[in-house]
Amino acid sequence: MTPLTTFTIIFIIVILLLVAEIEHRAVVAMLAAILSVYFGISYGLFSYSDIVEMLNLDTVLFIVGILILFETLSESGFFDFIGLYLLQKLGSKYALSIIMLIVLVTLFSGFSSNITVMLIFGAITFKFAESLGFDVKETILVEGLQTNVGGMLIPISSIPALIIATKTHMGFNEFMKVSLPFIFILTTITVIIAWILYYRHGPLEKRLKKTISVDPWSAVEKPSSLYRSLLIFIGFLLAISLGSNADLPPSFIAFFFVVISFLLSGVNPDKVFRKTDWSIPFFVGGFFVFVGGLERSGVLDRIAENLVDLLRLDPCLSAPLLLLICAVISAFIDNIPVVLILYPIVEDLVQVMGINPLPFYWALIVGGNLGGNLTTFGSPSVLIGVRLLERKNLTVSMAEYVKKCYPIALTQIALSMVILSTMVAAGYL
């Protein structure tokens, strides 16, 4: 067997395991890494010392730092507090409450993990629905879709965004210059479509007159911890946005604030460590090594050959098409491997062809995030939303999901293609 054949077989095994979800995705990534290392070294494609470089340690450590900081902020009760505060203030205003829920889910997904946001806002939405008499099923599903839109807000909002921003050294300002128009337009359209489809007829039943009395502070264990965690997180965001000028690696900045957070926030580090999703760094790290193996064995070149014709087209057309491809693949496979595999291919191709890489990087970020909205299993937050509904005996079949969510999900993808194309044509990217 040639290295190309062997690595193609490993590639097929990994894709099959990810599609079928037979094993945990982190286990699949580690299996892929182990096989890549064994065969890569045996074939002489790379040596042990190259593995550290292939692992992209800086990116993996940055991800770990971000996960811990997100969890610290969540543990301080910040998200619960904001949600309950809104419930208290807007509990009787039908339209405003629904719009605020959708907007806040989008916004908070930019600053926390989508799963955390979905869990917190899922619980809050059930309370709102009880008070205002709107259909909770549609609202939870729309919120699930919006968590993935929020995943494009800042470079640390989602793993695909983080990987591309770190690898391309894209600063906060540069990133938000592009992400904000996307998020503003997509959220506005989502609110409009959701309103027309689900809420325009007003409450489902006669509005319940009772007002919900909740004390937002009841969700906060120590108010001082909340203030301090929030201040530290804002400090981190400022530092990371200025860090590129100071030539400091992102992982250093993240870990500096992790230490500061543990020392000063008053949040119990043990609780934070327990709640942190450790499978993500293992998954990303394992996949980095695997992609390194694919690159050195020539598998990525073979895939790239199929993309050359696409990238030869006018970027106004090729970037949106890449976005569509990335979205369709991300509907069935986790968006992290999709971006990890497509990124080096696109990077090499744009270098060889001498074209502006930014439209294509954004195609990967947007496509990777929005693609998860096409299936109930494509994105963890949508899946969490569906599970929350199931707990209340509100099952969502794939057919129902298609009927209820596709008008929004497909519009978001189509609109993103138009926005990206317009940005390229206008020279904005």
DSSP 319: H
Verify binding: residue 10, other proteins, rule CB under 8 A.
yes
User: How far is residue 188 CA from its own chain's centroid?
Assistant: 19
Minimum CB separation from other proteins for residue 254, in Å? 35
Number of CB atoms found within 10 A of residue 206's CB:
7
Quick one: 13 or 212, whose CB is closer to other proteins?
13
Nearest distance in Å: CB 387, other proteins = 14
Maximum alpha-carbon separation in the chain: 73
How many residues interact with other proteins (rule CB under 8 A)?
A: 17
Stretch that binds other proteins, among 6-14, 198-206, 322-330, 368-376 (CB under 8 A): 6-14
Least distance from other proteins to the Cβ atom of residue 134, Å: 31
For residue 383, the minimal CB distance to other proteins (Å) is 15
The total of other beta-carbon atoms located within 10 Å of residue 293's CB is 30
Minimum distance between the CB of residue 220 and other proteins, rounded to whole angstroms?
37
Of all helices (H) and strands (E), which one includes residue 54? helix 48-55
Stretch that binds other proteins, among 14-22, 248-256, 330-338, 407-415 (CB under 8 A): 14-22
Given a contact cutoff of 8 angstroms between Cβ atoms, the answer to whether 389 and 345 are in contact is: no
DSSP-assigned letter for residue 379 = S
Residue where the block lists tokens 């037979």: 22
> Is the Cβ of residue 38 or residue 273 nearer to other proteins in the bound state?
38
Q: Taking phi first (over 0 means left), then psi (-120 to 50 degrees means alpha), and beta for anything else, what does residue 34 get? A: alpha
d(CA 368, CA 135): 29
CA–CA separation, 370 and 151 (whole Å): 9
Q: In the window 16-75, what residues touch other proteins (CB under 8 A)?
A: 16-17, 19-22, 35, 38-39, 42-43
Q: Which stretch binds other proteins (CB under 8 A): 11-19, 182-190, 290-298, 312-320?
A: 11-19
- CB 22 to other proteins: min, Å: 6
Residues 223-282 that bind other proteins (CB under 8 A): none
Any contact of residue 9 with other proteins (CB under 8 A)?
yes
Segment near other proteins (CB under 8 A), from 13-21, 176-184, 210-218, 318-326?
13-21
8 A C-beta contact, residue 284 and residue 63: yes
Which tokens hold the place of 389? 């509904």
Q: Which residues make up the interface to other proteins (CB under 8 A)?
A: 1, 6, 9-10, 12-13, 16-17, 19-22, 35, 38-39, 42-43
